[in-house]
Amino acid sequence: MLATTGTVGTALAFPQANGSVVFPDSACGNSQGQRVLVAYASQFGTTGEIAEAMAGRFCLAGMSADTKRVRDVQDLADYDAVIIGAAIHYDNWMAEARHFVTGNEDTLSRIPVAYFFTCGTLADSSDKAIAKSDEYADKIASVSDRVTPLSIGRFAGVLDYSRMNLRTRIGLWPFFTVIGANEGDYRDWAAINDWTDNTIAPPPFTTT
Ligand SMILES: Cc1cc2nc3c(=O)[nH]c(=O)nc-3n(C[C@H](O)[C@H](O)[C@H](O)COP(=O)(O)O)c2cc1C
């Protein structure tokens, strides 16, 4: 029993994707337009798929956009605006995203920035789930008191055991069972597109 608990603890602390999970890294758009970075943290790739879809919307609107994991972002100097998105892990925005914001406060405090998060909670549209997502948004808003996001998008995410390696699947299954999360792709692409088109671009990215 103790050994099992240890394995579960390890899997919870270090959830691992299986080898087939893809983390989008791409660029699109008009090099003459404003440059947007959509940087993301994701364990199983699905938040990255949202980030890449957002980048596609910016490019359709005449900008250029890069999609990158936050860990792969080298330099923010060339960007006119930055979107930072991450999955919620254990009631927090993934640490990688938080560290990215605090580590780049100088630049991010000078340009338009928006945040978004994905979570299992919003698979359910109950008042309780909305209240929980309010808590997530409040925590994310206070990651840096120097960076004020224009908006914090909140989206239902994905629970897909086939994206996890076996050890992680076995480790996380009890956690998701206890919190009542059912496997599924809960992403609402209309809501994601709407947030991207109407809340974020344009304006404010067309204004200086
Ligand atoms: C280890 C782990 C912990 C999670 N903790 C929470 C949580 O506390 N609250 C929540 O709503 N969703 C939680 N989730 C669900 C994820 O936020 C959701 O599945 C997200 O869409 C995963 O994105 P990804 O595919 O980019 O990793 C958790 C997922 C994992 C893997």
Instruction: Give the count of alpha carbons within 13 A of 69, CB side only.
Output: 14
Mean of all residue pLDDT scores within the chain: 88
Residue (of 103, 123, 94, 119) closest to 15 by Cα position: 94
23 Cα: distance to centroid of ligand 1 (angstroms): 16
The answer, yes or no, to whether residue 201 has pLDDT greater than 70, is no
Residue 44, ligand 1, Cβ within 6 A: yes
Q: Assign residue 180 a region: left if phi > 0, alpha if psi is -120 to 50, beta otherwise?
A: left
Q: Where are the domains of the chain?
A: 23-200
Q: Which fold has domain 23-200?
A: Rossmann fold (3.40.50)
Residue 38, ligand 1, Cβ within 6 A: no
Q: Can you say whether the dihedral through the CA atoms of 175, 180, 185, 189 is positive or negative?
A: negative
Whose structure tokens read 């087939």? 20
pLDDT tens digit sequence for 74-85: 999 999 999 999
Residue (of 21, 20, 55, 59) closest to 40 by Cα position: 55
Measured from the Cα of 41, ligand 1's closest atom is 26
For the whole model, what pTM was predicted?
0.91
67 Cα: distance to centroid of ligand 1 (angstroms): 20
The answer, yes or no, to whether residue 205 has pLDDT greater than 60, is no
pLDDT tens digit sequence for 92-141: 999 999 999 999 999 999 999 999 999 999 999 999 999 999 999 999 99
Straight-line distance from the first to the last Cα atom of the chain, in angstroms, rounded to the nearest whole number: 59
Residue 119, ligand 1, Cβ within 6 A: yes
Residue 121, ligand 1, Cβ within 6 A: yes
Measured from the Cα of 157, ligand 1's closest atom is 21
72 Cα: distance to centroid of ligand 1 (angstroms): 21
Residue 120, ligand 1, Cβ within 6 A: yes
Residue 88, ligand 1, Cβ within 6 A: yes
Residue 62 confidence (pLDDT): 87
Residue 15, ligand 1, Cβ within 6 A: yes
